[in-house]
Chains A and B, each alone.
Chain A
Amino acid sequence: MTSLPSTTTGVALGLAIDLDSCVGCHACAVACKEWNSGGHAAPLTDLDPYGAAPNGVWFNRIHSYEAGEGGDGLTVHFPRSCLHCAEPACVTVCPTGASYKRGEDGIVLVDESMCIGCKLCSWACPYGAREFDQAEGVMKKCTLCVDRIYNENLPEAERIPACVSVCPTKSRHFGDFNDPDSSVSRLTAGRGGYDLMPEMGYRPTNKYLPPRRQAPVAGALPPVEAEPAPASGFLRWLDRILSR
């Protein structure tokens, strides 16, 4: 079994995902697929791509749920990817050391050269964030775009995960959750960001920001005149002199 890093910098890179503004457009999912198809874990193989059962590797998938009943309920679009847990069972179950958590930034990665494709990690992950590449026989997963965020060939503003850079509703935020002053920490504190399935004890780094809804406005406009007949309105308007 694989150990977690014995020394860490404390840096905990991850994502704050805002369920209040996610419209389920899949921009993040496809941008992730696109970047990573040629990136660190390339390829993200697609089986039967034009056939009866197309099935590919995706590090980020979007699900839609409803909560509550009828018109008072909510429709929630929920992007799901690796949460880069502080206590990742996917790492500790790995029999070869292929799955590992980095001490320097907390990112959970797979060293494909050591992966034997046993899939223990995907059984251990309660979030379903692991993706097995059947064609290659190895496990793959979200790298938090490790090949972007430190990439000095990219302009500094673009050294963020692909999913964050493309999000048209600005629902994805990247940063260090260990730093209380980081934008993701402040967002999480201010918005009541929460852990997914905290009862599992894996202490996910990624946080979800809950939907907010302003209550519908009650009340009504008071009519100027008690009598709603059109003629009365026209009389009061007749005396209104305007300027053009």
Chain B
Amino acid sequence: MADEIRTTTCYMCACRCGVRVHLKDGRIRYIDGNPAHPVNRGVICGKGAAGIMKQESPAKLAKPLLRTGPRGSNEFREIEWDEALALAADWLGQVRRTDPKRLAFFTGRDQSQALTGWWAEQFGTPNYAAHGGFCSVNMAAAGLYTIGGSFWEFGEADFERTKLFVMFGVAEDHGSNPIKLGLARLKANGARFVSVNPVRTGYSAIADQWIGLRPGTDGLFIGALIGELLRADRIDFEFLARYTNAPWLVIDAPGTADHGLFARNAEGRPLLWDGVRNEVVDAHVAGTSPRLAGDVVLDDGRRARPAFALMAERFLASEYLPEAAAAACGIAPDVIRGLAAEMARVAFEETITLDVPWTDWAGRRHDKMVGRPVSFHAMRGISAHSNGFHTCRALHVLQMVLGTIDCPGGFRYKPPFPKPVPPPPRPGGRVGEVRPGEKLAGGPPLGFVQGPADLLVDAAGTPLRIDKAYSWEAPIAAHGLMHHVIRNAWAADPYPIEVLFLFMANMSWNSAMNIGETLQMLTDRDPESGEYRIPKIIYADAFASEMVAYADLVLPDTTYLERHDSISLLDRPISDPDGPADSIRRPVLPLDRDVRPFQTVLLDLGVRLGLPGLVRDDGSALYPGGFPDYMVNHQRRPGIGMLAGWRGPNGDQHGVGAPNPAQLEAYIANGCFWHQKFPESARFFKHANRDYLEIAARMGYIATPDPVIMQIYAEPLQRFRLAAEGFGPVQPPDAERERIRRFFDPLPIWYAPLEGEALSPDDYPMAAITQRPMIMYHAWDSQNAWQRQILGENRLYLARSTGERLGIAEDDWIWVESHKGRIKGQVRLMEGCNPETLWTWNAVGKRAGAWGLDPAAPEARRGVLLNHLISDLLPDGRRGNCDPVTGQAAWYDLRVRIRRCEADEAGVSAPQYPALKPLPHAKPRPGILSYGAWFRRRRENA
């Protein structure tokens, strides 16, 4: 048995479960889930339980590295930390003194954005983002511009009470254990589970109904469901009138500067048409009697219509009729009709009533909480398409039409959400806001634009950020566009950079679109100067990933069992719908090599650079204890820091309070997490619940306790469209006008994914997508001896009928060709696959020699990546392969054709790159791993 149990927070994926590390004489005996933890309630997944092998991995970096050979050669020499940090500070200091935007600082699947984003702001560069732009920014942005929240960290289904749960697309990604626990509740309760996904694996396998539609058609499918509900009046009209902008009047004056904007009174407040008083009144006032249809003439003589009527007109259009939509989705029309009928039946005939009184935002008392038990979940599957923003918006409109937001049995917000729609911070970095030697002015690097005036473009419309986020190419780029950084930096478009600083982002391999060209850009030199076009690359990671080979300076990080982290409400919260939560990691094992926690390294660099907020007047460090010191003592605003629990001098304040020197001890005593439950009266209808709103304002989640009004009609999009039509002072370049006009529809629209639109279906007749394997997702730990035994190579999966039609048999090797390139892999045929779709598991293929593996590892020899096929540009070679609204990378738009390999081509996947050489410190790979033998010997000798 263990002689010590140390709690901490898992980091084998982004789920952030509470774990207990059981130690025997300082060695890990086993890791299990913390039963008291709100995220995982005692369970642990296959990745989490494999954490031991992450610690054992021979791929761990051991010392800072300085490149000695050409980029990509993997030739380095080991250097001391003093030299590494002095060099980094020298490079970064020169940039900051001259032009801070010449630092591009991008982080991968990390969970320290509350620090890294703040650090970039202090440095003064606008060129910062995490990986959201190529992950699920469509989901997040659409949610924040529609309901003030979204799925996963923002909210989740009320799994305890829901009776119909509909999951769209790949979902085995975010919220791993909470969703599995939720599916168990559904099954135990006899609730119906419908999965909409081209592939029937993972969660879809246990769904009562699998709807295998064509990739990228979800928005049309959702629109058709909305149309069915509208035609039958199976609409929660009261919900729409009370909690959404459905009754707000939209000006109908085509060809004028205000067309499509909300009619507002002199104070700028939106208006609605009161049907009892028969007059236009302030839409924010309680006690009105809104109309949802009809034309009204405003005082100034202009006509206006309620937003609801415009929305209804959209989804009553013929393209959303079941027959038309079903044909495009590749399903039967009765599937749409049946699901719409079931949604309506459950929502309106199986309502749930909780005998919990509550008070609404206007002070009106309600003696019950009534819920409509239909709920949804979606994530990357609908997000990673070029039509993803509108598809995600359509899903939220469906939720609103059914009245299933933050009610019993429906979707529930997790604090600090809901936020005002959209949330208030605007991105910093406008003209004049980037200044040598100074902090970024105007706001943090990432924020939410309300219209063209907030864009980061110059007077000519040229982007101000290296990734072109918040430019006319991607106006609502809430999470930045990491997938464009390397190309733009290489092309000096819109300007050259000096230092590319990446953390935990495998941008030369499975996080890159278009790997072949990306490697060329990383290694390309200016023929005149002989210098690399991307002059300096600093990379921080814990493992010998493919990206290490392309760095000039490598800063080795610790593992998650060796460092402090904060899982902060300022970042990506782990709250549940009943109340806020945050947590910490703390070292449970001593360091056995010369590596340092990245966050402490970042603070150290900040001190060397003299960044505001990190140094005292005399230049000494404000947080000499490194990141744990910052976690406790840094205040973002007075009383608000990284951790919300046990604040104040006595540690008895929660949410807001002065720093508490004993805060980390309090977390550790509580299992490394803090969780507070709201009173019952504040747990539902948070968008309009006075008890909740007052708590939220007190805790700093929202500025004032005003209700959050959900937006079926997104006025910020219309502001962009008006600009494209020539109105307003901030004008797009002419080349962008048509695109902005087309895609910035204030109501959800559906259009075919853009890569497919640009290619002939005869040339590329199939879609290609990935699914997320639960044993690997977000860890991609091929260096993990246990995980790789479960998934060390990946097949290319096809519907059996498709294989038969094309003469492709099980185990055949095939070429898959896109407009960008081709890959080769081995086939498996299956029944549960849309016949026009090829799929594989994500990120299994590795480059030979990477991750401490034998170059002959199956990951390298038989593993495949679709990334080689996916272009970062559309087939025209100019525009990004992105959602035009947010810039989200359109991974799932990929179109391909396939053919059987020649017999002599079979056996090895393609492409094959030269094997990476071992790093200087690389340990020999053990031929046998007998982990645990020591425990038995010790037991038997005791």
- Candidates A21, A36, A216; contact of B335 at CB < 8 Å: A216
Contacts of B42 in A (CB 8 A): 165
In the complex, A194 Cα to B294 Cα: how many Å?
Answer: 62
Interface residues of B in 290-306 (CB under 8 A from A): 290-294
A23 to chain B, nearest CB (A): 5
Residue of chain A at shortest CB distance from B857: A52
Instruction: Determine whether B327 belongs to the interface, using a CB cutoff of 8 Å to chain A.
Output: no
A 204-237 binary contact with B (CB < 8 Å = 1; else 0): 0000000101111111111110001010011111
In the complex, A206 Cα to B839 Cα: how many Å?
Answer: 35
Interface 9-mer from B122-130, B231-239, B464-472: B231-239
Instruction: Determine whether A71 belongs to the interface, using a CB cutoff of 8 Å to chain B.
Output: yes
Known contacts A216-B335, A221-B340; decide if A135 and B930 are in contact (CB<8 Å).
yes
In the complex, A43 Cα to B935 Cα: how many Å?
Answer: 9
A 16-44 binary contact with B (CB < 8 Å = 1; else 0): 00101111111101110111111100111
B712 to chain A, nearest CB (A): 14
Is the Cβ of B312 less than 8 Å from the Cβ of A37?
A: no
Contacts of B831 in A (CB 8 A): 66, 68-70, 73
A191 to chain B, nearest CB (A): 11
Contacts of B45 in A (CB 8 A): 25-27, 30, 166, 168
Interface residues of B in 906-939 (CB under 8 A from A): 925-936
Is the Cβ of B929 less than 8 Å from the Cβ of A46?
A: yes
Is the Cβ of A25 less than 8 Å from the Cβ of B293?
A: no
Interface residues of B in 135-191 (CB under 8 A from A): 172, 176-177, 180-181, 183-184, 187-188
Centre residue among B181, B790, B801 by max chain A CB count within 10 A: B790
Is the Cβ of B205 less than 8 Å from the Cβ of A24?
A: yes
Known contacts A25-B775, A39-B932, A165-B32; decide if A220 and B854 are in contact (CB<8 Å).
no
Is the Cβ of B774 less than 8 Å from the Cβ of A223?
A: no
Is the Cβ of A242 less than 8 Å from the Cβ of B930?
A: no
In the complex, A34 Cα to B857 Cα: how many Å?
Answer: 23
Instruction: Determine whether A243 belongs to the interface, using a CB cutoff of 8 Å to chain B.
Output: yes
Residue of chain A at shortest CB distance from B203: A23
Instruction: Determine whether B114 belongs to the interface, using a CB cutoff of 8 Å to chain A.
Output: no
Residue of chain A at shortest CB distance from B322: A220
Instruction: Determine whether A75 belongs to the interface, using a CB cutoff of 8 Å to chain B.
Output: yes
Known contacts A27-B43, A75-B201, A153-B1; decide if A50 and B926 are in contact (CB<8 Å).
yes
Contacts of B338 in A (CB 8 A): 216-220
For chains A and B in complex, what number of residue pairs have CB atoms within 8 angstroms?
A: 304
Instruction: Determine whether A124 belongs to the interface, using a CB cutoff of 8 Å to chain B.
Output: no
Instruction: Determine whether A48 belongs to the interface, using a CB cutoff of 8 Å to chain B.
Output: yes
B 32-58 binary contact with A (CB < 8 Å = 1; else 0): 110100001011111111101000001
Is the Cβ of A76 less than 8 Å from the Cβ of B205?
A: yes
- Candidates B52, B184, B312, B856; contact of A21 at CB < 8 Å: B184
Is the Cβ of A167 less than 8 Å from the Cβ of B43?
A: yes
- Candidates A135, A228, A237; contact of B292 at CB < 8 Å: A237
* Interface residues of A, count at CB 8 A: 86
Instruction: Determine whether B70 belongs to the interface, using a CB cutoff of 8 Å to chain A.
Output: no
Interface residues of B in 270-298 (CB under 8 A from A): 272, 275-276, 286-294
A189 to chain B, nearest CB (A): 17
Known contacts A50-B926, A66-B830, A216-B338; decide if A43 and B187 are in contact (CB<8 Å).
no
In the complex, A222 Cα to B928 Cα: how many Å?
Answer: 67
Contacts of A114 in B (CB 8 A): none
Instruction: Determine whether A200 belongs to the interface, using a CB cutoff of 8 Å to chain B.
Output: no
Known contacts A151-B1, A240-B292, A242-B289; decide if A44 and B237 are in contact (CB<8 Å).
no
Is the Cβ of B206 less than 8 Å from the Cβ of A23?
A: yes
Is the Cβ of B337 less than 8 Å from the Cβ of A24?
A: no
Interface residues of A in 164-202 (CB under 8 A from B): 165-171
Known contacts A56-B789, A221-B232; decide if A20 and B187 are in contact (CB<8 Å).
yes
Known contacts A23-B183, A66-B831, A165-B42; decide if A52 and B856 are in contact (CB<8 Å).
yes
Instruction: Determine whether B329 belongs to the interface, using a CB cutoff of 8 Å to chain A.
Output: no
Is the Cβ of B30 less than 8 Å from the Cβ of A21?
A: no
Is the Cβ of B231 less than 8 Å from the Cβ of A46?
A: no
Is the Cβ of B205 less than 8 Å from the Cβ of A221?
A: no
- Candidates A44, A48, A154, A230; contact of B313 at CB < 8 Å: A230
B169 to chain A, nearest CB (A): 16
Instruction: Determine whether A118 belongs to the interface, using a CB cutoff of 8 Å to chain B.
Output: no
Contacts of B775 in A (CB 8 A): 25-26, 30
Interface 9-mer from B77-85, B208-216, B642-650, B745-753: B208-216
Excluding A45-B928, A170-B184, 14 further A-B contacts by CB distance (< 8 Å) are A23-B203, A24-B774, A30-B47, A42-B933, A46-B928, A46-B930, A48-B854, A49-B929, A50-B925, A54-B792, A69-B831, A162-B32, A219-B337, A234-B293
A-B residue pairs in contact (CB < 8 Å), sample of 6: A23-B202, A38-B30, A220-B341, A235-B293, A242-B242, A243-B238
A residues adjacent to B (C-beta < 8 A): 18, 20-27, 29-31, 33-39, 42-56, 58, 62, 64, 66, 68-71, 73-77, 135, 151, 153-154, 157, 162, 165-171, 211, 213-224, 228, 230, 233-238, 240-244
B residues adjacent to A (C-beta < 8 A): 1, 24, 29-33, 35, 40, 42-50, 52, 58, 172, 176-177, 180-181, 183-184, 187-188, 192, 200-206, 208-210, 212, 228-234, 237-238, 240-242, 247, 272, 275-276, 286-294, 308-309, 312-313, 316-317, 321, 334-335, 337-342, 344-345, 774-775, 783, 785-790, 792, 801, 830-832, 852-854, 856-858, 861, 925-936
Q: Which 7 A-B pairs have the closest CB atoms?
A: A37-B932, A168-B180, A26-B46, A221-B232, A220-B337, A242-B241, A38-B935
